[in-house]
């Protein structure tokens, strides 16, 4: 007989669309638990994230009642995490403990005293032991890949172990990767055969499956397979009546058996994450390396030594994510003693918008918007004022300005541009715009996954081949700079809007990413740079002041070369824009009911305006997402000699 722990993890990101939650509920969460109720001998360890629980409590209270009933019958073990599903390794220890406490309190409302943690994205680092123990946690669930990365062989991964840090000890259960690829994608008998193959007479041996509940109905093709074709009923029926399979919960296992000994796990997540978290060029090489090992039949033998990046690499890979994360950390420290503000910052720690793998993540504007909304709402409880500091630890100081209505953050080292303009009233960051970048999967057709092959069943999203549609490929462009407000361009007067928007133009000046000098005043900043345009001397000076309803900036430009001078404003506009536009104007409005609201831009002289959508290509569980991250507005003025003008930006 072999012990078998079956677990699921149900999560929806903060800020996700209501219709997405409705669909996931009807296609996965509800039918799964209703079928479980029909099998009283079946036991499941379940983790449900806080954002999803809050939605269920408000919209589907009967589901909360069903969970209580299943807990009472002994069929459900509640496994917790941070309430708002943060990556625990990426937030301060004080916040980790509070996040876990909040979800433990909710579990108690369901009738369960939770002692175990589902580690979000299985992102492990050794010093988590102390935080988990301090939060009253006795066991944690990670992947077998973590253990293999520590040098253990596959044969040693059918038991929990202890791990220790500074004298604090916790039990660690390894999830069996083979089961992750069998369940629910292959016929039930394949899983049963595998479980039987593990039976060697050792009564302490345990096989653990714990993975996304959305695999049971939400992932492509799974609803028909799991429910309409009856996979889940057959699975519950088979494993709950099989005399060679002993269904257990984590807590039951630990009352019957002790962990096997001590291990020290390195910083790790699951195998796929080690590919996704690498910079794009390295990720491409990683996939090639894994495929080469597979081709020569050596992957299984040497895979314990195949390691890519770690989760925190995403802050290196996506500077926009890094800036958002460091702003969150900054505010977390400021509001730790303020319970009302702290609730917002705990929400802002929801993991999804900070990274990207097979799901949209950082590429989904509505998820980033939810994080920024909560950072701003938390920040609004404390007065910060003006300061100069390296907020995002990129090695360069930022200038932080505040008035009653806004936060404005400049990067003098990066084009003297405005990289955050956050409205306290609207709780939006107007510059929450992701740059267009090349990702390795734009070229590599498959991911480096050790999937369980076979023609039977339904394909996992890791196995789906994807070709970029031609209509997307035509519009695909990659930026060579980050996107901000008040970015200064010098262009050839013959440049066309299509060349500009598709990043196929020549930048004549060295201002977009160049370093600006600066001086600050109360609520304002003046930035200037002496650079070159077409090899000839040029100077740009801009004096910025925050106002109650927006900002005013005065430009003074000198250039001996004949050029078009452009000031680019990248705004987080979510109302879909299909085609680029070119027009002349002294003022124009932006109306974005789904994102930033209504704003106006006013000039003291007419300018030519280029307007186009900024679209990024990312993979998702359904295929390709060509997503509008925002809209670029570039105000263009001919310059040869001196040029002066004023821009006003106002909330309407």
Catalytic residue set: 121, 212
Supply the Cα-derived Rg of the chain in whole angstroms. 27
Under DSSP, the state recorded for 366 is: H
Q: How many residues does the chain have?
A: 652
The residue among 437, 442, 486 whose CA lies nearest residue 320 is 437
377 vs 372: CA distance, rounded Å:
8
- Return the ∠ at Cα 456 (arms to 452 and 457), rounded to 5°: 85
Cβ pair 490, 539 in contact under 8 A: no
633 by Cβ neighbours in 10 Å (0-12 / 13-18 / 19+) ranks as buried
Q: What is the DSSP string of 519-546?
A: EEETTEEEEEEEEEETTEEEEEEEEEEE
- Return the ∠ at Cα 497 (arms to 491 and 502), rounded to 5°: 95
213 vs 402: CA distance, rounded Å:
43
Tokens of 256: 């019957």
- Return the ∠ at Cα 580 (arms to 577 and 582), rounded to 5°: 130
The helix (run of H) or strand (run of E) holding residue 34 is helix 30-37
Q: Where are the alpha helices (DSSP H) in 358-443?
A: 365-379
Cβ pair 513, 435 in contact under 8 A: no
- Each as own residue / partner, the long-range contacts of residues 14-19 (CB below 8 Å, 24 or more positions apart, any chain) are 14/51, 14/84, 14/85, 14/347, 14/350, 14/352, 14/367, 14/370, 14/371, 14/374, 15/350, 15/353, 15/366, 15/367, 15/369, 15/370, 15/371, 15/373, 16/51, 16/366, 16/367, 17/366
CB-facing half-sphere around the CA of 103: CA atoms within 13 A: 32
CB-facing half-sphere around the CA of 231: CA atoms within 13 A: 25
95 vs 118: CA distance, rounded Å:
17
Cβ pair 422, 250 in contact under 8 A: no
79 vs 171: CA distance, rounded Å:
14
Under DSSP, the state recorded for 505 is: S
Cβ pair 421, 408 in contact under 8 A: yes
26 vs 159: CA distance, rounded Å:
35
């Amino acid at each position: 007989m072999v012990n078998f722990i079956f677990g699921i993890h149900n999560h929806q990101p903060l800020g996700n669309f209501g219709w997405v939650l409705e669909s996931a509920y009807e296609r996965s969460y509800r039918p799964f638990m209703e079928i479980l109720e029909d099998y009283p001998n079946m036991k499941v360890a379940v983790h449900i994230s806080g954002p999803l629980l809050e939605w269920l409590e408000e919209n589907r209270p009967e589901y909360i009642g069903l969970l209580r009933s299943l807990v009472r019958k002994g069929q459900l073990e509640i496994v917790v995490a941070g309430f708002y599903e943060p990556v625990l390794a990426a937030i301060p220890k004080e916040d980790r403990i509070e996040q876990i406490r909040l979800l433990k309190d909710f579990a108690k409302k369901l009738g369960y005293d939770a002692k175990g943690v589902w580690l979000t994205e299985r992102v492990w680092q050794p010093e988590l032991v102390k935080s988990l123990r301090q939060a009253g946690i006795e066991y944690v669930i990670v992947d077998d890949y973590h253990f293999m990365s520590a040098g253990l062989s596959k044969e040693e991964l059918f038991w929990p172990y202890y791990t220790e840090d500074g004298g604090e000890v916790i039990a660690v259960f390894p999830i069996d990767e083979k089961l992750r690829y069998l369940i629910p994608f292959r016929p039930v008998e394949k899983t049963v055969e595998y479980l039987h193959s593990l039976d060697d007479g050792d009564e302490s041996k345990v096989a653990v499956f714990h993975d996304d509940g959305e695999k049971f109905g939400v992932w492509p093709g799974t609803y028909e397979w799991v429910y309409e074709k009856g996979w889940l009923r057959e699975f519950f029926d088979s494993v709950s009546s099989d005399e060679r399979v002993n269904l257990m919960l984590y807590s039951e296992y630990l009352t019957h058996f002790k962990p096997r000994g001590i291990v020290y796990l390195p910083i790790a997540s699951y195998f796929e994450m080690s590919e996704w978290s690498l910079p794009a060029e390295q990720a491409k090489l990683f996939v090639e390396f894994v495929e080469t090992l597979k081709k020569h039949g050596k992957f299984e033998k040497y895979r314990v030594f195949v390691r890519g990046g770690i989760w925190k690499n995403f802050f290196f890979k996506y500077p926009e994510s890094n800036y958002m994360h460091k702003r969150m950390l900054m505010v977390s420290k400021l509001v730790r003693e303020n319970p009302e503000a702290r609730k917002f910052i705990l929400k802002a720690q929801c993991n999804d918008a900070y990274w990207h793998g097979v799901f949209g993540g950082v590429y989904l504007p509505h998820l980033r918007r939810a994080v920024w909304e909560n950072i701003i709402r938390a920040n609004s409880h404390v007065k910060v004022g003006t300061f100069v500091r390296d907020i995002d630890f990129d090695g360069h100081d930022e200038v932080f300005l505040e008035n009653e209505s806004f936060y404005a953050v400049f990067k003098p080292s990066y084009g003297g541009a405005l990289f955050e303009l956050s409205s306290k009233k609207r709780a939006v960051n107007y510059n929450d715009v992701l740059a267009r970048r090349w990702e390795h999967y734009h070229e590599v057709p498959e991911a480096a996954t050790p999937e369980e092959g076979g023609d039977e069943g339904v394909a996992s999203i890791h196995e789906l081949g994807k070709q970029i549609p031609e209509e997307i490929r035509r519009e695909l462009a990659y930026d060579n700079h980050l996107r901000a407000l008040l970015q200064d361009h010098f262009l050839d007067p013959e440049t066309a809007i299509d060349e500009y928007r598709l990043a196929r133009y020549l930048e004549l000046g060295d201002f977009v990413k160049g370093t600006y000098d600066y001086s600050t005043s109360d609520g304002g900043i003046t930035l200037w740079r002496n650079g070159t345009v077409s090899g000839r001397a040029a100077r740009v000076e801009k004096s910025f002041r925050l106002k109650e309803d927006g900002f005013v900036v005065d430009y003074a430009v000198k250039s001996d070369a004949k050029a078009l001078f452009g000031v680019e404003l990248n705004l987080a506009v979510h109302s879909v824009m299909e085609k680029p536009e070119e027009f002349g104007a002294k003022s124009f409005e932006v109306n974005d009911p789904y994102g930033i609201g209504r704003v106006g831009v006013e000039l003291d002289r007419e300018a030519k305006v280029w307007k186009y959508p900024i679209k990024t290509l990312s993979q998702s569980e359904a295929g390709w997402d060509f997503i509008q991250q925002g809209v670029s507005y570039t105000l263009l003025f001919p310059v040869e000699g001196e040029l002066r003008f004023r821009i006003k930006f106002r909330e309407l």
